[in-house]
């Protein structure tokens, strides 16, 4: 048996038709990036939202801590938090 008979033209024709078939199917399939989206953009967005939240919490805590530095003698510890809100002497 010759190599052409064993491996020859039949496989080339089958391979060529398989490429044509796969070419037709590839046009109807969605892109891989849409079908299997990456996790990186979602993690980046979650990281940014977490950092913004922590910045807001830190700013609020520093604001309240700074107001407590101006306690007058004899006032309770939490009195400075609301000092200046609604007090019109």
Residues 60 and 23 in one domain: no
Query: For residue 79, what are the contacts with CB-CB under 8 A and spacing of at least 6?
Result: 71
Domain that holds residue 17: 1-36
Number of domains present in the structure of the chain: 2
Whether 46 and 73 map to the same domain: the answer is yes
- What is the spatial distance between Cα 55 and Cα 7, in angstroms, rounded to a whole number? 69
* Same domain (yes/no): 45, 88: yes
User: Span 51-56, mean pLDDT?
Assistant: 98
Check pLDDT > 80 for residue 67. Answer: no
Digit-coded pLDDT (tens) for 11-31: 555 555 555 555 555 578 888
Residue 75, phi then psi, degrees to nearest 5: -90, 150
Which is higher by pLDDT, 70 or 23? 70
Asked if 26 and 56 sit in the same domain, the reply is no
């Amino acid at each position: 048996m010759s190599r052409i008979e064993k491996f020859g033209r039949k496989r080339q024709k089958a391979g060529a038709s398989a490429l044509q078939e796969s070419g037709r199917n590839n046009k109807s399939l969605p892109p891989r990036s849409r079908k299997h989206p990456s996790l990186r953009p979602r993690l980046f967005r979650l990281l940014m939202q977490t950092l913004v939240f922590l910045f807001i919490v830190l700013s609020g805590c520093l604001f309240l801590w700074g107001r407590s530095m101006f306690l007058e003698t004899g006032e309770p510890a939490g009195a400075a938090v609301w000092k200046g809100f609604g007090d019109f002497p």
